[in-house]
Structure 1
Amino acid sequence: MTLRRFLHSPEALAGAAIVSALAVMALVAPLLFPADPLSIAGRPLTPPFQDWSLPLGTDRLGRDVLAGLFHGARTSLAVGLAAASAAIVAGSLVGTAAGFASGLTDDVLMRITDAFQTVPGFLLALAFVSVAGPSLATVVGAIALGAWTGPARIARAEILSIRERDFVAGARIVGMHPVEIALREVLPNALPPVLALSSVIVAGAILIEASLSFLGLGDPNRVTWGGMIAEGRAVLRSAPFLSIIPGIALVLSVLGVYLVSEGVVEASATRRSLS
């Protein structure tokens, strides 16, 4: 029923189409453009649709814009999924420990969470990458460092509700270790609302990665949409397509993830209201 309601939502279908296109671009990029996307492919600043071997033209160095667009989708998707996974795993573990242990452990972990939440995620990522150096792994870690607090708070709230239920008491009676109860019995039941945050974290991660790349703090060995936008900034008047094309791709990707998230939330809320 939830899937049926999702499929009947025009916004959700539009978002799913955009996300699917992003995934296809990421998957076929090495097949359609096996050469290094950072290599020179033609005459510099070739406008779009002037040379059909380079449909979207070239940048200031003669690199293929279309190849960069496809390989940039790989980077955005990889960063978004990796950062969301790391943030959800870390946040779920912290929230589980805080909610299940309670007392001093809960207070300490929640004060640490509060401290991280006071710093905007982008500023935290900017500081972390500036210190650790630009690389894909560093960018993923920096984004996850500012995104784990949301899953942690939601997980804690769910754990506080679940830990008093009968099946948890039964697990204690049969002699299960508290850590085993928390990870095997309680955490799996608290995950659904935490996982609902994943699409929001993915969208935020894509934006933060693009912002870092725009500032020159992205992985220098990978093509990124933020780096492409920054590259076109120097010739914005004479060749605006260099910034407009990756900018449109970035906006559509974030919009697609957001629409999918809204569709899932709406379908789930409708199901709960009917039940």
Structure 2
Amino acid sequence: MNRLRGFFHTSEAIAGVLILALLVAMALAAPLLFPGDPQAIAGPALLPPFQDWSLPIGTDRLGRGVLAELFHGARTSLAVGLAAAGAALVIGAVVGTLAGFAGGLIDEVLMRVTDAFQTVPSFLLALAFVSIVGPSLGVVVAAIALGTWTGPARVARAEVLSIRERDYVAGALVIGMHPLEIAFREVLPNALPPVLALSSVVVAAAILTEAALSFLGLGDPNRVTWGGMIAEGRAVLRTAPYLSIVPGIALVLTVLGVYLAGEGVVESTAVRRSLS
């Protein structure tokens, strides 16, 4: 309870949570409010907003309802952002823990691998991976995680290097615990908070990367995505700018909400540490 009060103490955190709550509500309500295929033709092509209240934001070039696509696109953004961030944090935490706790040659090899991944921009790595393997939701998630795990890995390693020198780690070694058991049962849980603090950055990056891939035509063709909607509206930007503006605003608000909520987590954590 005290943690929740500390989290909601900042206006940024409240705004971020409200935006994310709206995104989650859209994702959950999409199949209820707009059942069936959101890519099915729902009306005349390029119907402007507020002309037909059954299609309040109008239709695109093929006559598909923009509001239905917007709600179903929230499901894709939320799924990709959370899945890619979760995969990146797990990979980074495992690699960082192994490197920091083992030290020596293992640390050197794992950090050189991390350096190799960091030399390639994450978006270019995701672009190349999806281009080779083929566009699908699982491939997009794997591609994004492949380019974003290095940050959590370095943070985890730095924390583990500090924690492994503490007395309880030495005591665990004395009583005969296996080094891997010590690393993942005793050390990793204490090294996780700084790693989890990166989750907002990773989620925001994942959502933007997915939108960029979809904009380039490398998203899952069977799912509605905000990046794909923006790309669809690009051809009629002068005559129907709402086709790109509406999903663009949704994308900006989502990333802003994730960032503000993450800032709230960091600030509340800093306050708890200062009080303790």
Scaled by the length of structure 2, what TM-score is found? 0.98
Separation in structure 2 between the aligned mates of residue 7 and residue 39 of structure 1, nearest angstrom: 41
Separation in structure 2 between the aligned mates of residue 131 and residue 221 of structure 1, nearest angstrom: 18
2:156 aligned with 1:155, yes or no? yes
- Give CA deviations for 1:205-259 in whole Å, capped at 9, x if unaligned: 0000000000000000000000000000000000000000000000000001001
1:171 match: 172
1:236 match: 237
The alignment partner of 1:8 has SS state of coil
The alignment partner of 2:208 has SS state of helix
1:252 match: 253
How many residue pairs match? The answer is: 275
Separation in structure 2 between the aligned mates of residue 250 and residue 196 of structure 1, nearest angstrom: 22
Alpha-carbon distance, 1:270 to partner: 2.3
Separation in structure 2 between the aligned mates of residue 52 and residue 137 of structure 1, nearest angstrom: 36
Alpha-carbon distance, 1:86 to partner: 0.3
Alpha-carbon distance, 1:180 to partner: 1.1
Counterpart of 2:268, as a letter, is A
Name stretches of at least 5 consecutive residues in structure 2 with no aligned partner: none
Counterpart of 2:60, as a letter, is D
Alpha-carbon distance, 1:118 to partner: 1.3
Counterpart of 1:234, as a letter, is A
2:68 aligned with 1:47, yes or no? no
Alpha-carbon distance, 1:174 to partner: 1.5
Counterpart of 1:120, as a letter, is P
1:81 match: 82
Q: Equivalent pairs: percent with the same residue?
A: 77
Separation in structure 1 between the aligned mates of residue 24 and residue 5 of structure 2, nearest angstrom: 23
Alpha-carbon distance, 1:184 to partner: 1.1
Please say which of residues 74-83 and 175-184 is displaced more in the overlay. 175-184
Scaled by the length of structure 1, what TM-score is found? 0.98
Counterpart of 2:132, as a letter, is V
- Give CA deviations for 1:123-175 in whole Å, capped at 9, x if unaligned: 11011111111000010000000110011001101111111111111211111
Separation in structure 1 between the aligned mates of residue 271 and residue 182 of structure 2, nearest angstrom: 32
1:56 match: 57
Counterpart of 1:30, as a letter, is P
Counterpart of 2:190, as a letter, is N
1:198 match: 199
Separation in structure 1 between the aligned mates of residue 267 and residue 172 of structure 2, nearest angstrom: 35
Please say which of residues 260-269 and 137-146 is displaced more in the overlay. 260-269
